[in-house]
Amino acid sequence: MSRLGAYLSVFASLFVFGTVAAQKADSAKIDTNLLNKYRVDPPKNALPIRSRPIALHPELIPVSPLGYEVSYWRKYFTLGINLNQSAFSDNWSGGGVNSFALGTNFDFKAEYNQKPLSFTTELILIYGISKNKGQVSRKTNDRIFFDNKLATQLSKKWYFFGSLSFESQFAVGYQYSTDSKGNINAAQISKFMAPGYFTESIGFEYKPVKYIDIRIGTGTARQTFVLDTTIYHNIPGNYGVTPGNRFKNDLAFQVVSTINKDVAQNMNLQARYALFIPYNNFSRITHRLDATLAARVNRLINVTLSGTLLYDITTNQSVQASQGLALGMVYKFP
């Protein structure tokens, strides 16, 4: 046999032996669960991680004071001056009297509110005078009014309050009359502290809305002063003081109601009604209503309509009234 034939015989023998061995290996059964049981996974090559704790340290930053202050006060200030003047030449065919009138009013109000306490103080000063040619100057308006009230809140709309007020006038007041010969006579009927009133009151206050205030003074005392005893014969009732005396004290029930509301753009209404009923004499009930309607023309010019109704039998048996219409300068702050 040649050498090539020998190589082929060896190759054929190896091929047959490998085929038979492969068939025997495929026929053998292998338990894969045992393989998984004893399988050892190679360790993971994880990257090292370093963690550091976070530390927070407060740093104080210097801040300069801002200068802010909390104020529980609200203050109002009003100053008004009204002028009225007319002049005629001597040969004016329509006739007329030269005249000049001056009216002033000052109103200061301050309010303190820190719940449940509140305090209100108000000072009103009014004075007016007119001068016609050929006549002496005459007073057209005169009033001093100073009111103070301290209250503590009981509920949303009710308060318990105590108040003290003072009322009088600046100058001498006269009542003018004309005798049968046409002469004008002036009788003095009032002056400073003749009369003058001090009123102390405690009770309950009701505020249904922001612009309405109603005081019900169940315990009220009022002292009436007539320091000039020479005027008692000129005024009926002598302001409730016995003629010749200077002082009278009354215990009474009092109601004081105020309103301060902007009824239209640039138009404000202020009114104050006071009812006074002495406990020892119900027939001496006193009613007083003061009202002012002010319309602002511009920052400094106002038109003001004011009026007062008074019923007080210690001065007159009938209702008394006064009214004024003025165009003037008014300064308000704020």
pLDDT of residue 96: 82
Closest CA to 275 of 196, 216, 206: 216
pLDDT of residue 25: 47
The rounded distance, in Å, linking the Cα atoms of 58 and 160 is: 50
The rounded distance, in Å, linking the Cα atoms of 266 and 239 is: 39
* 325 phi and psi angles, rounded to 5 deg: -125, 125
What are the C-alpha distances in Å from 116 to residues 50, 103, 249, 292?
Answer: 62, 40, 33, 31
- The token pair at 99 is 């005249």
Q: Which residues pair with 77 in a beta bridge?
A: 108, 333
How much is the pTM? Answer: 0.77
SS (H, E, C) 180-239: CCCCEEEEEEEECCECEEEEEEEEEEECCCCCEEEEEEEEEEEEEECCCHHHHHHCHHHH
pLDDT of residue 186: 87
The rounded distance, in Å, linking the Cα atoms of 310 and 18 is: 139
Closest CA to 223 of 211, 241, 205: 241
pLDDT of residue 209: 95
pLDDT of residue 283: 86
pLDDT of residue 73: 94
Closest CA to 122 of 277, 256, 223: 256
Q: Are 104 and 143 in contact (CB under 8 A)?
A: no
- Tens of pLDDT along the chain (334 residues)? 556 566 666 566 665 555 555 555 445 455 555 555 555 565 665 566 677 778 788 888 887 777 777 889 999 999 999 888 888 888 888 888 888 899 999 999 999 999 899 999 999 999 999 998 888 889 999 999 999 999 999 999 999 999 999 999 999 999 888 888 878 888 899 999 999 999 999 999 999 999 999 999 999 999 999 999 888 777 778 898 988 899 999 999 999 999 999 999 899 999 999 999 999 988 899 999 999 999 999 888 999 999 999 999 988 889 999 998 888 888 888 7
DSSP H stretches of helix in 28-99? 32-37
Q: Are 106 and 133 in contact (CB under 8 A)?
A: no
pLDDT of residue 75: 94
pLDDT of residue 21: 52
- The DSSP output letter for 174 is E
- The token pair at 240 is 């409730």
pLDDT of residue 31: 57
pLDDT of residue 30: 55
The rounded distance, in Å, linking the Cα atoms of 124 and 144 is: 6
The rounded distance, in Å, linking the Cα atoms of 300 and 328 is: 8
The rounded distance, in Å, linking the Cα atoms of 111 and 147 is: 12
SS (H, E, C) 70-139: CCCEEEEEEEEEEEEEECCCCCCCCCCCCEEEEEEEEEEEEEEEECCEEEEEEEEEEEEEEEECCCCCEE
Domains of the chain with CATH codes? 73-333 (2.40.230)
